Structure 1
Amino acid sequence: MLGLLRQCHRPSRDIFSQFRLFSTSQVWQVRRDQKSNIRIPSKKAQAAKTRRKAAIAAKKEDHYEKLPLLDAIAVLRAVEVANPNCCYELFVKTEIKNGVAVPKGRVNLPREAKAKAEDKILVFAEGRQAEEAKKAGAHIVGGPELIEGILSNRHRATTILCTPALIRTITPKLGRFLGPLGLMPSDRRGTVTDDIAGYISRLHATSEWRADRTGNIRTAIAVMHFPVEDVVKNVRHFLASVKRVTGNTKDIEADRKSKAAGSKPVTNILKVMLSSRQGPGIRISDY
């Protein structure tokens, strides 16, 4: 019996004796030295790399065929000859950078392609200004008591205006809620004003356009049976509004206003395309 126990016990000793005892080695030190020797590119090298990428992107852009606006309209009219009520669709790609607001504006086209959507206007005003807002056609008018209704989605509006006297009252509670939606009143957009009636009258005469989070703007710009001159006027008028909002305009008065309000970063317009329901997307060269 003891012999059996010794036989069973001896292999266990052999097994434990074969285990390797690990110890610290120089491998970790080598890896640390390799990390310390990693080369960090300088600002000059990073700038050169950025220029190379921009040059490669510019070469790719040259491969795409671009047409003047009149030629693009002629191509789409030929494609949609059996659909006279089809709409031209305008696509504008803008470059969205960190810390830059999404482009948003209003425009009054010379000839509307579609019926204007009715704006639901909410106004923060009190006293005489509240009465003027109601007479001008505001749907919801009130003071700070409207805040809870907005937070609970009981009051929904497409445009929110506010008087300078109430903007500090509503900002702490509504800033984070309305800001991401693009509805928070601000001096830069002109939605914080004492001339509530005048702003509402301008709203009724214009339609709003807005880019999405990636900077893409899409709109129905004209109908296929419109004369070519009307289509061109609509496109030029809409692009002028986009350029003015994004800082690409060459208007002297607009530049003076922007300088007076403070330096505003320019949002680059990367491309403009015109398309239709069955037609191709054609890049415009003369925008």
Structure 2
Amino acid sequence: MKRGKKYAEAAKLVDRNTQYDPQNALELVTKAAVAKFDETVEAHVRLGVDGRHADQQVRGAVVLPHGTGKTVRVLVFAKGAKADEAAAAGADFVGAEDLIPKIQNEGWLEFDVVVATPDMMGVVGRLGRVLGPKGLMPNPKAGTVTMDVAKAIADIKAGKIEYRLDKTNIIHVPIGKVSFGQEKLMDNFHAIMSAIIKAKPSAAKGTYLRSVVVASTMGPGIKVNPMKLEA
């Protein structure tokens, strides 16, 4: 893959063979971000588990202390008083069966997180083929299937993110924007890593944190020393 001059210059700041302390890695991320827009910083965490086994799944949610820097659009499936509660709490969209054809047939996906009350999961389940592959299906572990829709919306708007393994046993999560600076990024990074470490399945054997890499949208990947995180 051909890279531009800016990327080449940024890559010179990073030693690909070095595993950096978290603080140094995040300082390098901000220095190596040279795009004209405010790049998102992501963490990519490879775990020593086999996600094909139910007892080795790693999934959950955490509220980042400083949010993600992104405005999150929340869709809530609820009826009656719970629909009113969701609207009052700041949900961007609220609906029930009426949203099925809009999403299924019209391809409407102008939302980032889906919350549902438990009684609506039968309805939401009909959208599994659309929402599932995009990681948008509500899930009790992530706190997005709940009767307390107001709290769910407040947490999401405050910077709650969901983490889960992909098919290659890697978790990809945003930890903020380059403009946050090293300290805020460090707070967010610590919050997500603590959550992932606490979520270690009892069935996991051997090294849990195989590799940890941080990178901005257009910047080079920077390796973090996993030994500095497991303590």
Query: What TM-score, normalized by structure 1, do the two folds share?
Result: 0.55
Q: 1:133 to 1:264 in 2, by over 3 A?
A: farther
* Distance across 2 between alignment mates of 1:87 and 1:170: 30
* Distance across 2 between alignment mates of 1:279 and 1:189: 30
* Distance across 2 between alignment mates of 1:128 and 1:82: 46
Q: 1:266 to 1:188 in 2, by over 3 A?
A: farther
- Would you say 1:68 and 2:21 are equivalent positions? yes
The residue that corresponds to 1:239 in the other structure is 193
Mapping 1:223-234, distance limit 5 Å: 223=178, 226=181, 230=184, 232-234=186-188
- Would you say 1:217 and 2:176 are equivalent positions? no
Mapping 1:203-282, distance limit 5 Å: 203-208=156-161, 210=163, 212-214=166-168, 215-217=170-172, 219=174, 223=178, 226=181, 230=184, 232-244=186-198, 247-248=199-200, 268-274=208-214, 281-282=222-223
Shift of 1:142: 1.7
Matched-pair contact (CA < 8 Å) for 2:42–2:172 = no
- Would you say 1:107 and 2:63 are equivalent positions? yes
Matched-pair contact (CA < 8 Å) for 1:67–1:282 = yes
Q: Give the gaps of 5 or more residues in structure 1.
A: 1-63, 249-262
- Would you say 1:130 and 2:83 are equivalent positions? yes
* Distance across 2 between alignment mates of 1:126 and 1:189: 21
The residue that corresponds to 1:24 in the other structure is none
Structure with bigger gyration radius: 1
Work out the number of aligned pairs and report it: 200
- Would you say 1:162 and 2:100 are equivalent positions? no
Greater helix fraction, Structure 1 or Structure 2? 1
The residue that corresponds to 1:91 in the other structure is 44
Aligned-pair identity in percent equals: 25
Q: Give the gaps of 5 or more residues in structure 2.
A: 1-16
The residue that corresponds to 1:201 in the other structure is 154
Deviations 1:194-229 (CA, angstroms, capped at 9, x unpaired): 1111111111111435565432425455648946x5
The residue that corresponds to 2:70 in the other structure is 117
Q: 1:189 to 1:232 in 2, by over 3 A?
A: closer
Deviations 1:174-213 (CA, angstroms, capped at 9, x unpaired): 2333222222223232212111111111111114355654
Greater strand fraction, Structure 1 or Structure 2? 2
- Would you say 1:283 and 2:215 are equivalent positions? no
Matched-pair contact (CA < 8 Å) for 1:105–1:242 = no
* Distance across 2 between alignment mates of 1:278 and 1:143: 41
The residue that corresponds to 1:259 in the other structure is none
Q: 1:104 to 1:213 in 2, by over 3 A?
A: farther
The residue that corresponds to 1:177 in the other structure is 130
Q: Which has the higher contact order (CA 8 A, sep 6+)?
A: 2
